[in-house]
Amino acid sequence: MRATCRSGAGRTRGSTRSRPRAFLFRQRPARGLGSVRFHDWRPAFDAYAHLPNVGRFREQVDALCEFVATAAPDQEQSRDLDLLLAVGRLFALVVHGQLILEQAGLTGLDEDVLDEMFAVLVRDFSAHAVELHGKDSATARQQDWALGAIRRPVADAARSARVWERGEALAGAYEMAP
């Protein structure tokens, strides 16, 4: 098996070990990405809707659905990679949230930890919405949407303390492999 994530130290030009890197730069444009269908994210979120920050993040995700329906980038904006990157970051957070929730269901992740994780996602979504608001090519409707999508996570000092104590209890429990 060839490792493709190593540094180029010790490689000679034309060695078989450098081919994976060269392949990355010879790729052609992706086709058919628009036909990719994603699994419905709602059931994963519904299963944890009782957690305050999952619910708060769900508000933001629902707002993103509204954005797609009412203020999506137009033809001209679809050439603005800076704007598309800001929108893409919002979509990526939805996918990450879904994967976290699905994994939490499989592993029985502590709900305090899960809610703290979603507090971070709420902050990240808000930060990306602010970024979208500031894009030169964002329309007034998109700017209004972005400001309306900003949320503050639900703070819970007792929950945060419990999560901190769990992490603190693990201090020194793990050792790095040499």
Domain boundary assignment for the chain: 52-163
Q: Quick one: 160 exposed, middle or buried, by C-beta within 10 A (0-12, 13-18, 19+)?
A: middle
- pTM of the complete model: 0.78
Written as one letter, the residue type at 39 is H
Q: What's the CA gap between 17 and 1, in Å, rounded? A: 11
Q: Residue 51: CA atoms inside 13 Å, Cβ hemisphere, count?
A: 25
Is the per-residue pLDDT at 14 higher than 80? Answer: no
Mean pLDDT on 116-120: 98
Q: Residues 130-155: what's their mean pLDDT?
A: 97
Tokens of 85: 């990157």
Confidence tier at 83 by pLDDT (50, 70, 90): very high
- H or E element that contains 3: none
Mean pLDDT for 101-122 is 97
**Crossing angle (nearest 10°) for helices 140-148 and 52-70:** 170
Encoded amino acid at 7, one letter: S
